[in-house]
Structure 1
Amino acid sequence: MDQLGFQTASSVARTQGKNALTLQKGQVFEGKIIKFFPNNTAALRLGSMNVTARLEAPLSAGEEYFFQVQQNDGIPRLQVLQADQAALKSGSADQAETAKVLQALGVMNNKNNQAMLGMFQSEQLPFSKDMVQKGATILQQANAMNGAGARLLATMNQAGLPMTLQTFQSLFQVEHGASLSTQLQNLEAQLQSGNAKTMSQAETSAVANLNRKLSQTMAMTNIESFSKTDTGNKLVQLMQMSQSAHAPQAVKEGAMTLLQKTGLVSENFGSAPWLSSFKEALMQPENRAILQNLLPQTFSAQNGVSVADMEPLELFRTVMNRLTLAEGEAGRQQLQQLLTLFQNADGQSKQVDLSSSALRQAMQMIQSNEGANVTTAQERQALTVLYQGTFTNESANAGGMSTIATQLSKLMQQIGMQHEASIAQQSTTSNQQTSLLSESAQEPLKQTLMQYMNQLPTSVQDTAETLLHRITGQQLLAQEQQGPLQQTAIQVPLALGNYHTDLTVQWEGRSQEDGSLHPDHCRIIFYLEMENLGETVADVQIQNRLVTVNIFNEKEKPDMMMELLQPFLKEKLAEQNYSLSSINWKNTEDETKHHKSVYESYSGFEGVDVRI
């Protein structure tokens, strides 16, 4: 999956190269002299940035040199690397010329170091003696002696990350590996397909423990509200609205006509004679099995409910309000049985032949982008209620966190995104308090992976290790960057019904005294790949609590849905003391590419000279 919305390792390198460059003592880079100032100070051009530094030797304006940082306090001092400049600038230098460069750095002249030097030069990356020496060993062990590997090393050095093979592999998985949701599914499939008869006792125990923890994690990725928004449940919700005791009359009428337009119900649906016939159909012995499948225990003897004693409208509302379709094929079959009862109420005995494609066509008929089939105000009101029910996300606790936000927070803990921080916190917690925590709360998936890694069957170890690297890599890249702007990124796997994807959220804003982002002025960017809409980026910009939303997607703008939901969004924002300025849908390819480049390099201050 294209990591359009995630600040990957290479995007971090591009960001730092453009906006937040920090040169370290001993580092080497190529720069061009632009202008001289008094006291041996000069303006240099380094890539796309203007920098100011004090030079140790008289040089010529307009020329390019390789500089080495001698001191980085205040205005750092730079020294021209004592080597043949032609050799340094040559991307195709022969071994003799490369040897002069390595000698100037104080690095051993061997094939690996020669290859590393060539890659740093071709990629125009600042490098150091340590990066050449350790980098060559790391890239060789990781089988990544190429430009992409060199860029990852530069990212590690620039971010101050340990120059180790494990750090490199972790960042590599985020940059080039499969999505987190895919890796979780792959490991789950491998664990469940293993042959216990061929495993040792230790392997069997390790597989069982990891599989149990992985199953817990996968269960937490399911966003409940999305599991109830498939086509079948939307149709059921329209049926419920059409006869609701609480819905306004206009909404009830709109839901009724929308259902009739699908062709799945007759014109008599919901009338008094039809409701009486529906009750008679439910009481027929041949339909009892259908009712028990749709609503097990609803009319069982122990709850004292008698179908015969209920009024037809009351009975219909009871059936519809207690009905929740299962997911996937099972839900489609339940809906088919329900529509069969509806046909019996119309005096028809033929069973409904309802395919998945027919279900989609039924909803597409009333959910077309232009809303051509939604012709009345009542129908638009009914659809508004339907959409708003889809996006309900109420507060789940006294702290004001919504249901989904609370779920995502727990999921991050379950995966192990705060694993190391939790260990540090537990070390300051009394043994009595720690004992009150459940085992699952104390042990996230990351810890379980590390604990049982060496005991797993060889066929599973590679997949488990890849997942572990992926989690660690995301932890490294999610670390907040200090300075005038604070940046934080998270990525979590989600299951939207039967569709698995990753959600990425990035925050940027100024820090408050308590370390949190200032809520009046910040930027939040969401990236999500969805089953129908595909890759979607929502760029939310907040200035003085005024919210502007830019949505980037290659599909055609869903005018009707946006029109119906915008008042709902404005209302929910107002409850949090925010005002909605505008929502803009941008779907041209050029705008998407432009946004991608902006998004990957949004940190820091562009166009600002930096002293090095």
Structure 2
Amino acid sequence: MHHLSIQSSQGIKQAQQPQEERNFRPGEVVTGKITKFFPDNKALLQIGAKQVIAELQASLTAGGTYWFEVKEGGERPLLQVLPQTAGKQADVSQLIELAGMKPNKMNTSLVEGLMKQQTAFTMPQLKQALNLLQQKELQPVEVRKQALQLMLQRQLPLTESVLQAITARQTQDMTASLRELTNTVPVGSDKATPLQQMLGKLAPAGPAVHEQQLVKQIIQEAQAGKQDMYQAIRPSLPAAVPSFTVWQREWLAYDKQMDVGRSVPQQLIQESGSSSNRTTGILPFSQALDSFISEMQLVGKQSPAAQESLQTTLSTVRQLLSMFPDRSLPHEIITGLRTALEPFQSAPMAQDIYSQLAKGNVDNQQLQAKSTELLQLLQVTQTNEQSKDGDFFKNLLQDIVRQTGFSYEHDLNDADATDLPLKGLLLQHAAQGSERAELSSQLLQQITGSQLLQVQDDKQMAYIQLQLSGAPFGFDKDILMELEGRKEADGQLSSDHCRILFYLHLPFLDDMVVDMYVQKKAVSLHIYTEEGKAEQVMRPLQQKLKSALDTSGYHLSSVKYTVSNNAKEASYVDTSLHAVHTEQKGVDYRI
């Protein structure tokens, strides 16, 4: 075979040079065009976006395009010309034939995609990728092609298991898989109990409750001798309902125990990896509290408008029953109550009232008691929702990442067998040959695929992508976060220069992408939605966002809204920090 010894060209215009020096690695396959000859057997080659001066050791043709294999890397790479048909220019079909495969439409599409994306690959890698592309039982061909291109870009192992993990990550919704598995894991099985508990955290029935705030509210009322929270949680207490005196004594004792825990250095608390109240001591009436929290989640997943409507209707019902305890409620009031209860059928407390109204056998005293209980539940839920601040969501995000097990292999040596994350529990579940183990395997592949694609970095920048269950945030689908940030001298990400994209599917606003750019503590937002109503909903919240950022030491500089038929596609503008900075020229809201 022919060899070329090449070196970086001198005298090429700076504008034609890429921003970063192109590094050839041994074995890499490249295509190059000879554009010009120089004296002393040298020629100018165009290889992708790079121009190089090559010392010719073979007779090649000016204007000809050839396939080369890098034999030696470094500052003066050595290229070997690959065989090709005489008189023909190098094309994709020739390369596919060199890999021992047929140049059909499927194979050609894969290689053309790699060339277009300027993805580096070796001949053995190309052969492996083309072989995996033929395995039709794995995924549809377009899905396999995109996954293989991504695997080559990231230099991931070209194996069937990695391909399955990447395609699972790209095509499946983790939130849906979690809920499907939750419905199949048998309740009451000793082996399944830890898994059931973890699934309950990652796929709750509704938005995660601010448990710390709830416990704080209970303790404050116990200290003040108030019974509001006691009365609200009372329906969830066991049949032998404790008196308020017992309730108060238990919570005050717990608070005293927590005081001891608060004296533990903060570093030790952070190293425990959890922000839960349950790490320091055992919560009083924990089963009743869990049951009440489940009720809160079930009513909390409904829209604020639906909750407000039900609260108003329940207040009217209670007022009428107090004024006229011996009279039947007017028909229109009963109809209005049933209508307000309809969205809350998944909550047992609401469903109980609705079913009795449908049967027509509820008496006034019973209806007033149940309406009071449901109204108290709604009020506690609303107060708890309003207490969710930045720290709550930061801790929730950290808990989800830890509980999912994205760093499971890294933490394996230090892992507590009694406190395994979801990935560890799924491995146990699958190994035990449990019923519907294929669901465990499917979810494992999604988590593994997310791990493989999670971090990509270079000398100056880091790129992080997180796919998280949306259920704890009250969403029906996954949350996808993409973070791009500059590295400090110590390798840590800079909090002054970064970009974060949130891909969300909201229950009432549908698909939304929030593009957040931070530069020197100034925060710019670009919000892409498919509906114009999102701007109407979000504009009144901008001042609250500005105040919260000011408190955290940041400044909200601008907010821009874009309505597009496909919000996710519209957000795929140039993802470089420079592009986002220059994009801020045309904003419709500037502070």
How does the TM-score come out when normalised to structure 2?
0.62
Shift in Å, 1:541:
0.7
Q: 1:466 to 1:80 in 2, by over 3 A?
A: same
In the alignment, what sits opposite 1:353?
Answer: 335
Find the residue that maps to 1:183 and give its secondary structure: helix
Instruction: List aligned pairs for 1:321-400, cutoff 5 A.
Output: 326-328=296-298, 335=311, 336-344=313-321, 349-350=329-330, 351-354=333-336, 392-394=387-389
* Corresponding residue number in structure 2 for 1:68: 69
Partner of 1:162: 157
3-state SS in 2 of match to 1:131: helix
1:492 aligns with 2:468: yes
Hey, what's the Cα distance between the residues in 1 that align with 2:298 and 2:338? 9
Identity percentage of aligned residues? 22
Q: Helix, strand or coil: the match of 1:353?
A: helix
Tell whether the 8 Å contact from 1:213 to 1:445 is kept in structure 2 after alignment: yes
8 A contact 1:44–1:50 mirrored in 2: yes
Q: Which residue of 1 aligns with 2:398?
A: 409
Q: How far apart, in 2, do the equivalents of 1:475 and 1:79 lie?
A: 37
Change over 3 Å in CA distance of 1:18–1:29 after alignment to 2: farther
User: CA 1:589/1:494 → structure 2, altered by over 3 Å: closer, same or farther?
Assistant: closer
Q: CA deviation at 1:138?
A: 3.6
The structure-2 alpha-carbon separation of the partners of 1:98 and 1:413, relative to structure 1 and needing over 3 Å to count, comes to: closer
**1:43-85 Cα deviation digits (max 9, x unpaired):** 5252xx4454646456555543222222221253333322216
- CA distance, structure 2, for counterparts of residue 413 and residue 83 of structure 1: 53
| Closer/same/farther in 2, CA of residues 591 and 466 from structure 1, 3 Å limit | closer
The 5 Å alignment of 1:57-456 reads 57=58, 59-60=60-61, 62-84=63-85, 89=90, 101-102=97-98, 109=100, 118=108, 120-125=110-115, 127-141=121-135, 143=137, 146=141, 148-176=143-171, 178-192=172-186, 209-210=191-192, 212-222=194-204, 296=235, 302-303=243-244, 326-328=296-298, 335=311, 336-344=313-321, 349-350=329-330, 351-354=333-336, 392-394=387-389, 402-423=391-412, 426=414, 437=416, 439-440=418-419, 443-456=420-433
**Candidates 449, 461, 466, aligned match of 2:437:** 461
Q: Which residue of 2 aligns with 1:280?
A: none
1:215, distance to aligned residue in structure 2 (A):
3.6
Q: Residue 45 and residue 416 in structure 1: after superposition, are their counterparts in 2 closer, same or farther (change >3 A)?
A: same
Q: Is the 8 A contact 2:32 2:45 kept in 1?
A: no
Output the CA distance in 1 between the equivalents of 2:542 and 2:95. Answer: 62
SS of the equivalent of 1:589 reads coil
- Structure 1 residues 553 and 407: alpha-carbon distance in aligned structure 2, compared to 1, 3 A threshold: same
Alignment coverage as a number of residue pairs:
439
Taking a change above 3 Å as real, the CA distance of residues 518 and 529 of structure 1, as seen in their structure-2 partners, is same
Alignment partners' CA distance in 1, 2:484 and 2:385: 29
Question: Does the 8 A contact of 1:127 with 1:154 survive in 2?
Answer: no
Cα gap change, 1:360/1:69 in structure 2, threshold over 3 Å: closer, same or farther? farther
Q: Partners of 1:526 and 1:499 in 2: how far apart?
A: 13
Pair 1:294–1:484, CA change in 2 (3 A)? closer
Partners of 2:338 and 2:534 in 1: CA distance:
23
Kindly indicate whether residue 583 of structure 2 is the aligned counterpart of residue 583 of structure 1: no
Distance 2:455 2:550 in 1: 31
* CA pair 89-566 structure 1, distance change in 2 beyond 3 A: same
Q: Which residue, out of 491, 502, 514, partners 1:515?
A: 491
Residues 331-365 of structure 1 show CA distances to partners (whole Å, capped at 9, x for unaligned) of: 9797454431133356683244336865899xxxx
Give distance in 2, aligned partners of 1:301 and 1:37.
Answer: 95
Q: Which amino acid aligns with 2:30?
A: F
Deviation of residue 35 (structure 1)? Answer: 6.0
Q: 1:510 to 1:34 in 2, by over 3 A?
A: farther
| Separation (CA, whole Å) in 1 of partners of 2:67 and 2:462 | 33
Q: CA RMSD in A?
A: 4.6
Distance 1:135 1:423, change over 3 A: same
Note the C-alpha offset of 1:482: 2.3
Taking structure 1 as reference, are residues 597 and 566 closer, same or farther at Cα in structure 2, changes over 3 Å only?
A: closer
TM-score (norm 1): 0.60
2:494 and 2:421 map into 1 onto residues whose CA distance is 30
Partner Cα distance (2:82, 2:558) in 1: 54
Label 1:224 to 1:360 Cα distance change in 2 as closer, same or farther (>3 A): closer
Amino acid at match of 1:130: P
| 1:36 Cα offset (Å) | 6.5
561-570 or 493-502, which moves further after superposition?
Answer: 493-502
Answer whether contact 1:223 1:404 (CA < 8 A) is retained.
no
Deviations 1:431-489 (A, max 9, x none): xxx7xx5711xx222122223424325x6233222211111110010023122111112
Asked if the contact 1:225/1:390 (under 8 Å) is kept, the reply is no
The structural deviation recorded for 1:533 is 0.9
How far apart are 1:181 and its partner, in Å?
Answer: 0.8
Distance 1:87 1:122, change over 3 A: farther
The code of the aligned residue for 1:70 comes to: K
CA–CA distance in structure 1, aligned partners of residues 193 and 44 of structure 2: 61
**Cα distance, 1:389–1:329 mapped onto 2, change above 3 Å:** closer
- Kindly indicate whether the alpha-carbon contact (under 8 Å) linking 2:487 and 2:494 is maintained by their aligned counterparts in 1: yes
Deviation at 1:594, TM superposition (A): 3.6
- Other structure's SS at 1:342 match: helix
Helix, strand or coil at the partner of 2:471: strand
Q: Any unmatched runs of 5+ in structure 2?
A: 1-17, 211-229, 246-291, 344-380, 581-591
Instruction: Report deviation, 1:564.
Output: 2.6
1:54 to 1:326, Cα distance in 2 relative to 1, 3 A: same
Task: Provide the secondary structure at the position in 1 that maps to 2:80.
Answer: strand
